[in-house]
A = this chain, B = another copy of it.
């Protein structure tokens, strides 16, 4: 009704949009209730001693200087192994319905256990990772303080990492400022892009606070997605043919920073990604102008990046197991 009235008053429709009942909601700032746990998790996130080589940390592939991703098609693992799938951003990942592209981890804590022990990623074992941390008195003391435990187990390690990751939200994007009522926060072209994003049907999957992350959908719904990547998505877990190429819908938050796109990282530009999605998922062939407007809208989803001091890690000592990068 408000939109109608403004239109009648001669104001352009795009400008007249008001942020009520939108399918995407603002990202809320992190509420930190246990700063010591977050700080411990941050140290662990940056600690390459959770890997066999002593060289790869969580931050290697979820680089918080670069949108929480590595900006590679697929990641580099132990011994320079080529990863099987694009590394998803850790930013706003607490909003995901489940973790990994195929959702095989229920939450961030379960996810954090994966790469440490994956022979193609950090190539360590939980036992060796925990042995390493136990040998370092500063870590033992921090875990005792935060968790009240005498001995560190993988359970506290992944819990602390998840607690840190939960703080990695990106509020205050221009889109969110618009959602919150700042009508000057977006340009007319960006608002037009948002309207197109909704009208074209993108919002059917990319909705909620993360503009995605809350459902699994088949990649190549209308037309097949051509890729050399063998990942089969959820079918790899369920064995069900109906789940082939079903992947978690990625968040579009900070999508300007999280190139290249899709589970295979095959597309480097947002324009290409918008075009492919419209054709393959929605059966729509968008013109260049519409693609440009949607791309302009997507860039308004870049939020305030987490800002914190680089953690200083407690040193190893004579009792700490040595890294094994080359054996």
Please state if B55 and A72 are interface contacts (CB–CB under 8 Å).
Answer: yes
User: Which residues of B lie under 8 Å from residue A318 when comparing CB positions?
Assistant: 268-269, 271
Take A307-B312, A310-B308, A310-B310 as given contacts and tell me if A76 and B55 are in contact as well, using a CB distance cutoff of 8 Å.
Answer: yes
Does any Cβ of B come within 8 Å of A181's Cβ?
Answer: no
Nearest to A61 among chain B residues (CB) is: B55
Does any Cβ of B come within 8 Å of A66's Cβ?
Answer: yes
Please state if A82 and B326 are interface contacts (CB–CB under 8 Å).
Answer: yes
Please state if A307 and B309 are interface contacts (CB–CB under 8 Å).
Answer: yes
| Interface set, chain A 28-67, CB cutoff 8 A to B | 46-48, 53-55, 60, 63-67
- Of B259, B309, B325, the residue contacting A315 (CB under 8 A) is B259
| Interface set, chain A 233-269, CB cutoff 8 A to B | 256-257, 259, 268-269
Please state if B312 and A309 are interface contacts (CB–CB under 8 Å).
Answer: no
Does any Cβ of B come within 8 Å of A6's Cβ?
Answer: no
Give Cα distance in the complex from A313 to B259, angstroms.
14
Shortest Cβ gap from A135 to chain B (Å): 12
Does any Cβ of B come within 8 Å of A316's Cβ?
Answer: yes
Please state if B315 and A256 are interface contacts (CB–CB under 8 Å).
Answer: yes
Does any Cβ of B come within 8 Å of A322's Cβ?
Answer: yes
Question: 5 smallest A-B Cβ distances: which pairs?
Answer: A80-B80, A305-B312, A269-B318, A65-B313, A310-B310
Does any Cβ of B come within 8 Å of A281's Cβ?
Answer: no
Shortest Cβ gap from A219 to chain B (Å): 22
Report which A residues bind B (CB closer than 8 A).
46-48, 53-55, 60, 63-67, 70-72, 76, 79-80, 82, 256-257, 259, 268-269, 271, 305, 307-313, 315-316, 318, 322-323, 325-326
Please state if B64 and A310 are interface contacts (CB–CB under 8 Å).
Answer: yes
Give Cα distance in the complex from A82 to B324, angstroms.
12
Shortest Cβ gap from A85 to chain B (Å): 14
User: Which residues of B lie under 8 Å from residue A305 when comparing CB positions?
Assistant: 312
Give Cα distance in the complex from A125 to B318, angstroms.
39
Please state if A76 and B64 are interface contacts (CB–CB under 8 Å).
Answer: no
Please state if A323 and B72 are interface contacts (CB–CB under 8 Å).
Answer: yes
Take A256-B315, A259-B315 as given contacts and tell me if A72 and B325 are in contact as well, using a CB distance cutoff of 8 Å.
Answer: yes
Q: List 6 A-B contacts (CB under 8 A).
A: A54-B70, A65-B312, A66-B313, A259-B316, A308-B310, A309-B310
- Of B65, B80, B315, the residue contacting A46 (CB under 8 A) is B65
Please state if B309 and A65 are interface contacts (CB–CB under 8 Å).
Answer: no
Nearest to A307 among chain B residues (CB) is: B309
Give Cα distance in the complex from A46 to B64, angstroms.
11
User: Which residues of B lie under 8 Å from residue A271 when comparing CB positions?
Assistant: 318
Nearest to A49 among chain B residues (CB) is: B71
Please state if A55 and B70 are interface contacts (CB–CB under 8 Å).
Answer: yes
Give Cα distance in the complex from A313 to B271, angstroms.
22
Please state if B259 and A65 are interface contacts (CB–CB under 8 Å).
Answer: no
User: Which residues of B lie under 8 Å from residue A326 when comparing CB positions?
Assistant: 82
Give Cα distance in the complex from A76 to B54, angstroms.
10
User: Which residues of B lie under 8 Å from residue A268 when comparing CB positions?
Assistant: 318, 322
Nearest to A76 among chain B residues (CB) is: B55
User: Which residues of B lie under 8 Å from residue A313 when comparing CB positions?
Assistant: 65-66
User: Which residues of B lie under 8 Å from residue A67 when comparing CB positions?
Assistant: 315
